[in-house]
Structure 1
Amino acid sequence: MESKLNLSELLEYVDPAMLDYQEWVNVGMALKHEGYTAYDWDQWSLRDSARYHEGECYKKWESFLGTNSPVTGATITQLAKDNGWQSQSHYYDGEDGDSVIGWNDSFVPVDVDKGYQFVKTDWVMGKEIKEPTNWSPSQELIKYLEALFSPGETIGYVNDGYLKKNGEIEKWLPKAGVYTRTAGDLIEGLRQYKDDIGAVMGDPNPACGAWIRFNPLDGQGVKNTNVVDFRYALVESDSMSIEQQHEIIRELELPVVALTHSGSKSLHAIVKIDAINYPQYQERVDYLYKIVEKNGLKVDKQNKNPSRLTRLPGFIRGDKKQFLVATNIGKGSWEEWQEYIEDMNDNLPDPESLADLFEQDIQLAPELIKGVLRQGHKMLIAGPSKAGKSFSLIQLAIAIAEGRKWFGFNCAQGKVLYVNLELDKDSAKMRFVDIYKKVNQGHDNVGNIDIWNLRGKTSPMDKLAPKLIRRAQKENYIAVIIDPIYKVLTGDENSAHEMANFTNQFDKIATELNCAVIYCHHHSKGSQNGKNSIDRSSGSGVFARDPDAILDLIELSVTEDRYMQLENEAICQTYLKAIKAYAPTYDDISLDDTFSKKQMSHHLMTAIKSQDILKHIESERVKAVEAAKQATAWRIEGTLREFPRFKTVNAWFKYPLHVLDGSLQDIKLEEDSKEKWKKGTQKANESRSDKAKKELEEAFNMLSEDGSPVEVNQIADYLEVARNTVYSRVKKHELFSVEGGYLSKVKKETVVESI
């Protein structure tokens, strides 16, 4: 909680002189709410000697009676942050535990001033300003007035003041001044009387200098309500030298119509705002102040109001000149400047010269999966339904955690985050247990695996990514596995634009966490014959062209003879395992015997005499045979960006493992058949729209009972697409409609009428 912080220490970062009245009052309210005393507020307020009045804090304190929406210590904390204070963690959680970091910010926890910071403040040496030698006060005034106002506009100025004492400190403050004359009237008089400014504007008081209101008035007063055009804002700072202020103003390309030396320790920049009303003026001034403050120029926030006074050039202030430094510098308008600032804040790297390309060794990212994927890159595993894609991802997570092989490829060892979007918490854990047991190589490094269970709690990928990054940024993961992506899919998967935005989230995760991002996606419905591996994924081609590596699973057609061979191997392995377990001293088995069901049966009966044990082994044999019958054969092809294409990998999916089997290499894919090639080519040439319609009809027919409506969620799960994709397809299909979250078939009469 913010209130646990020492607010007195935070106030060291907040200058009361830089706050407006309401901000000053808010500090007092916050201190009282958090249990501090009026003395604390009073002692802090003393730092603003110009506005401090003895006893005012104590009087005001008694009026703070509390409300249903109190001002809390968070207000002081934010003021301190705005002035350079940093908490131990540079970000915070919202009420729901989500990071407040937005998509326009970096996901790495950094100083809030990093965004929009273009000036390297540590290297600001200062830009020299020379006091004018042949100074013509009248000409300066004319140039200034012509830059800011039209001849017919009414302006307000002050050239006299009163001396206010606060202890030993004295300060000249402006009187009400004049607010009924036009700029043209003053300019005409100045030209007529040359440098006799007093003849035009009244005799000035050289002790205090002169001021002007930088926005035109209505001639009725000098309040904000008397401002007729919200044209300019004032940027004033005395937090650094005049020369440094000058350099920052120039570096930021502020759209300054006039830059004036105050005759003291600050420059006054009149910045073009060009707001259409007061609310827009406030919005633009807040934006302006944010930019200049984040670039080292701590502005006086009392200057926010549009009727504020600024120093007027052409006058003497004590023994110093108030003189015009420049007019019309920086960008030409507010819009041009804001566009420039936003472009500067695009977070894109600068172009890099290749002049020293051959003089330094290039350090590539380490390989996560040898010959397949580098750390910090992206990989897609694609395949049809029931290919065991999720099981293969769990196998991969284990291989990375333990530093083992996966599909025959060596994996680097490290921490991995498995994002589970589909299974309930305990089912997901059981899958890891089952696979660990089947692999049977121990689980010494299972602590390298973190699982984030999000079934029923998922959000679209653009919302999930920042939450994932925030939780993962301290864990040093070398891989993040997201399974399956259709649960977090945003937009229509057939839209290249929408899918590009979707896959960009994987880039953000990989970049911010410096880890590989691995995910799976399903094949499009129908035959994959005649397609390259890069074109088999469902939806937009973005899915195939975005990852750095694609591993594609294609099912192999297995003959009955091969299944008989697989059953034979399963029986032999069951018997061999039983003999080793129950008769470990039996060693009469040759290597050839381990491939013969007849020989292994003989060894089993010879080595084991217990009928109870034999009955148990028989039940295990039945299970092994059944598992062999259910096994499916797969070929894994790769499309790689960083590495040469590898030789295809072949494996059986024997629940829950994919087990390599080189003997499957000789099986030819169905697409080698001439007739199936033609059929596959015809299907591949169907338009996406027609294919999507057929898939929707197929899903409805499979899930509907007697043509009754089906939940959109069920349709989405069947098609393995997002809900939005279902709605998008329904809009293009004249036979279906959606109402109340249910997909219904439109009656034929309705279709005819619509035609």
Structure 2
Amino acid sequence: MATKKEKPAVPVPSAPTDGEKPLSKNSEKSITEENFKNNPPEKNYEEMLRMMQQMNDPAYLHTVSMNELYENIYQSRPPIIGGLLYSGAYILAGAPKVGKSFLVAQLAYHISTGQALWNFEVHTGTVLYLALEDDYQRLQERMFRMFGVEGTDNLYFAVYAKQIGNGLDEQLEKFMREHPDTKLIIIDTLQKIREIGGEVYSYANDYDIVGQMKKFADRHCICLLLVHHTRKQPAGDNFERISGTTGLLGCADGAFLLQKENRTDLNATLDIVGRDQPDQRLYLQRDKERLIWMLDHAETEMLKEPPDRILDSLSRLVTAEKPEWFGSPTELVAALNLDIKPNVLTLRLNVKAGRLMQEYDIRYESSRTHSGRFIRLMLISPEACRS
């Protein structure tokens, strides 16, 4: 009786260490093969088992040392409108009928068409606008008055949506599957998607609502903008006038506060706070005919990072003619003709990876093998920067 031949065991490659991204497939097979030889599957399984045992310990606390922090590569939040709006959960608040819906319609139109907004650079993408206090006829009139007949297929409207915890998540997930290039989802207003009974404000409830929206935004690397009202009571900090508790602002990545001194004024201020941009105040003026908001001036100039000579050098090394570079940190120091230690260069690039992607469209990857550390630099299309 013939015995069944056993299939040879296939070695499993080890996961990249220190949170690094794996190198893309290339012709450097010797590196991969050597990595397999020096990191046998049994050793990897033992390490995985040890980590699982640690995590099952109720007293286990995952920590990262400062050196490990610098060893990792963390992509920064991509800008939706540079210096103004980034991925994450944002709140736009203002008194009723102050012009919030016109402002978010303006944001939606500019992002969906790629047209610059005021003096801010816009990154083009699909936009979903849940205008839950409007109907399609009113939206049609508003958009026509603001932008004429120059429409776009990248801006979608809905006047009805389900509530948080009662189907809204599934609706938004489906939209993202159908439109993976989405950059902005506007919910106008937050109150319309609160769960039944959500009118009872508490810090925990407000924090949880924005927290759920933030998880969705972070998962899809988009901006989710929640339109909300302010209350009439005066406050020491203008942002404390946002209706509800401080839990809303506490969890959000940023907030906009649109205010007028008098309801009939055509002038308004837009105060902006956020984790990814400096606090600023913009002075706006409303066009009487088109009802769009125009920038009159900013209280302070937009803060710009100073030039980085190393990143500038990399942009001359990785070009359209030579869109990829691969080698060791030592070889990169030599290629750039820098007076810097290779390990210091690697740490600096780990920290600057997000800026390198956003400003120069260069993806940076770092990987360690038995042969040493290797760096890969790839010029990519601006549209791929979100991936």
Give the 3 Å change call, closer, same or farther, for CA 248–539 of structure 1 in structure 2. Answer: closer
- Secondary structure of 1:379's counterpart equals strand
Normalised to the residue count of structure 2, the TM-score between the two structures is 0.56
Give the 3 Å change call, closer, same or farther, for CA 126–377 of structure 1 in structure 2. Answer: closer
Q: How far apart are residue 369 of structure 1 and its match? A: 1.7
State the distance in 1 between where 2:139 and 2:133 align: 9
State the distance in 1 between where 2:200 and 2:286 align: 30
Residues 565-605 of structure 1: CA deviation (Å, up to 9, x unaligned): xxxxxxxxxxxxxxxxxxxxxxxxxxxxxxxxxxxxxxxxx
Which residue of 2 is the match for residue 555 of structure 1? 260
Are the counterparts in 2 of residues 414 and 478 from structure 1 also a CA contact under 8 Å?
yes
Are the counterparts in 1 of residues 126 and 182 from structure 2 also a CA contact under 8 Å?
yes
State the distance in 2 between where 1:551 and 1:429 align: 25
Which residue of 2 is the match for residue 523 of structure 1? 230
Identical residues among aligned pairs (%): 21
Aligned partner letter, 1:514: C
From 78, 83, 93, the counterpart of 1:382: 93
Residues 242-266 of structure 1: CA deviation (Å, up to 9, x unaligned): xx9x99999977xxxxxxxxxxxxx
Q: How far apart are residue 540 of structure 1 and its match? A: 0.8
State the distance in 2 between where 1:382 and 1:361 align: 35
Matched, 1:534 2:239: yes
From 151, 175, 183, the counterpart of 1:471: 175
Q: Where in structure 2 are there 5+ consecutive unaligned residues?
A: 1-39, 300-387
Which residue of 2 is the match for residue 232 of structure 1? none
Are the counterparts in 2 of residues 482 and 518 from structure 1 also a CA contact under 8 Å?
yes
Which residue of 2 is the match for residue 372 of structure 1? 84
Aligned partner letter, 2:162: T
Q: Where in structure 1 are there 5+ consecutive unaligned residues?
A: 1-122, 128-243, 254-329, 331-338, 559-629, 666-755
From 212, 218, 228, the counterpart of 1:511: 218
State the distance in 1 between where 2:270 and 2:49 align: 60
State the distance in 2 between where 1:353 and 1:521 align: 40
- Paired residues for 1:530-609 under 5 Å: 530-557=235-262
Are the counterparts in 1 of residues 190 and 226 from structure 2 also a CA contact under 8 Å?
yes
- Secondary structure of 2:227's counterpart equals strand
Which residue of 2 is the match for residue 657 of structure 1? 291
Residues 688-746 of structure 1: CA deviation (Å, up to 9, x unaligned): xxxxxxxxxxxxxxxxxxxxxxxxxxxxxxxxxxxxxxxxxxxxxxxxxxxxxxxxxxx
State the distance in 1 between where 2:93 and 2:47 align: 55
State the distance in 2 between where 1:350 and 1:250 align: 13
- Paired residues for 1:279-428 under 5 Å: 340=56, 351-355=63-67, 357-358=69-70, 363-374=75-86, 376-406=87-117, 408-428=119-139
Normalised to the residue count of structure 1, the TM-score between the two structures is 0.30
State the distance in 2 between where 1:651 and 1:420 align: 23
Are the counterparts in 2 of residues 367 and 412 from structure 1 also a CA contact under 8 Å?
yes
Aligned length: 257
Are the counterparts in 1 of residues 256 and 273 from structure 2 also a CA contact under 8 Å?
yes
State the distance in 2 between where 1:660 and 1:249 align: 59
Are the counterparts in 2 of residues 400 and 412 from structure 1 also a CA contact under 8 Å?
yes
- Secondary structure of 1:648's counterpart equals strand
Give the 3 Å change call, closer, same or farther, for CA 417–125 of structure 1 in structure 2. Answer: same
Give the 3 Å change call, closer, same or farther, for CA 493–125 of structure 1 in structure 2. Answer: same
- Secondary structure of 2:67's counterpart equals coil
Structure number with higher relative contact order (C-alpha < 8 Å, ≥ 6 residues apart): 2
State the distance in 2 between where 1:502 and 1:398 align: 27
Are the counterparts in 2 of residues 639 and 645 from structure 1 also a CA contact under 8 Å?
yes
Matched, 1:497 2:204: yes
- Secondary structure of 1:556's counterpart equals coil
State the distance in 2 between where 1:411 and 1:387 align: 24
Q: How far apart are residue 532 of structure 1 and its match? A: 1.8
State the distance in 2 between where 1:387 and 1:343 align: 51
Give 1 or 2: higher helix fraction.
1
- Secondary structure of 1:419's counterpart equals strand
Extract structure 1 runs of 4+ deviating beyond 6 A: 246-253, 341-344
Q: How far apart are residue 545 of structure 1 and its match? A: 2.2
Q: How far apart are residue 519 of structure 1 and its match? A: 1.5
Aligned partner letter, 2:176: A
Which residue of 2 is the match for residue 433 of structure 1? 144
Q: How far apart are residue 362 of structure 1 and its match? A: 5.6
Which residue of 2 is the match for residue 449 of structure 1? 155
State the distance in 2 between where 1:633 and 1:251 align: 59
Give the 3 Å change call, closer, same or farther, for CA 512–364 of structure 1 in structure 2. Answer: closer
Give the 3 Å change call, closer, same or farther, for CA 642–341 of structure 1 in structure 2. Answer: same
Q: How far apart are residue 404 of structure 1 and its match? A: 2.3
Are the counterparts in 2 of residues 415 and 479 from structure 1 also a CA contact under 8 Å?
yes
Aligned partner letter, 2:170: P
Q: How far apart are residue 402 of structure 1 and its match? A: 1.5
Which residue of 2 is the match for residue 636 of structure 1? 270
Give the 3 Å change call, closer, same or farther, for CA 545–408 of structure 1 in structure 2. Answer: farther
State the distance in 1 between where 2:252 and 2:226 align: 10
Which residue of 1 is the match for residue 309 of structure 2? none
Matched, 1:482 2:167: no
Q: How far apart are residue 350 of structure 1 and its match? A: 5.7
- Secondary structure of 1:385's counterpart equals coil
Larger Rg: 1
Are the counterparts in 2 of residues 388 and 653 from structure 1 also a CA contact under 8 Å?
no
Residues 30-76 of structure 1: CA deviation (Å, up to 9, x unaligned): xxxxxxxxxxxxxxxxxxxxxxxxxxxxxxxxxxxxxxxxxxxxxxx
Are the counterparts in 1 of residues 81 and 120 from structure 2 also a CA contact under 8 Å?
yes
Mean Cα deviation higher: 545-554 or 457-466: 457-466
Which residue of 1 is the match for residue 22 of structure 2? none
Residues 131-164 of structure 1: CA deviation (Å, up to 9, x unaligned): xxxxxxxxxxxxxxxxxxxxxxxxxxxxxxxxxx
Aligned partner letter, 2:184: A
